[in-house]
């Protein structure tokens, strides 16, 4: 599978993930397991569908492992890259909160750091 978002293209497979929420935007994240960086792509169906996303990486105890990242959604295809250099190997949760008009939608997926 080849996924293409605007000028961003990557080969899909077992090291990629996708969140397709009923109410939230399409979220793609790769690679998984993570070596050094995690790339998150946010794809909207139409402009102004969501205004921004908040991304948290938490451990199994709910503790944040990297500072919370915010991404203003200015187009249909948006990208965020998170540095995992200082995060120890283990299992974590990727929490993506999508905001519009004061409401939010939360999407969660398991990720692994090698």
Domain ranges for the chain, please list them: 2-113
Q: Is 43 exposed, middle or buried (0-12, 13-18, 19+ CB in 10 A)?
A: buried
CATH topology of domain 2-113: Immunoglobulin-like (2.60.40)
- Confidence grade of residue 46 (pLDDT, cut at 50, 70, 90): very high
- Lookup result for tokens 């948006």: 78
pLDDT score at 5: 29
Q: How many other CB atoms are there within 10 angstroms of residue 22's CB atom?
A: 5
pLDDT score at 3: 30
Enumerate residues 6+ apart whose C-beta is below 8 A from 104.
Answer: 97, 98
Higher pLDDT: 14 or 71? It is: 71
Tell me: the pLDDT tens digits for 56-96?
999 999 999 999 999 999 999 999 999 999 999 999 999 99
């Amino acid at each position: 599978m080849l996924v293409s978002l605007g000028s961003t293209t990557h080969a899909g497979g077992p090291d990629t993930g996708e969140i397709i929420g009923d109410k939230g935007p399409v979220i793609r994240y790769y690679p998984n397991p993570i070596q050094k960086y995690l790339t998150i792509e946010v794809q909207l169906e139409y402009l102004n569908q969501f205004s921004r996303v908040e991304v948290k990486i938490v451990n199994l105890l709910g503790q944040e492992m990297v500072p919370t990242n915010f991404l203003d959604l200015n187009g249909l295809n948006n990208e965020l890259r998170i540095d995992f250099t200082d995060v120890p190997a283990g299992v974590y949760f990727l929490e993506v909160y999508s905001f519009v008009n004061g409401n939010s939608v939360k999407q969660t997926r398991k990720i692994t750091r090698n």
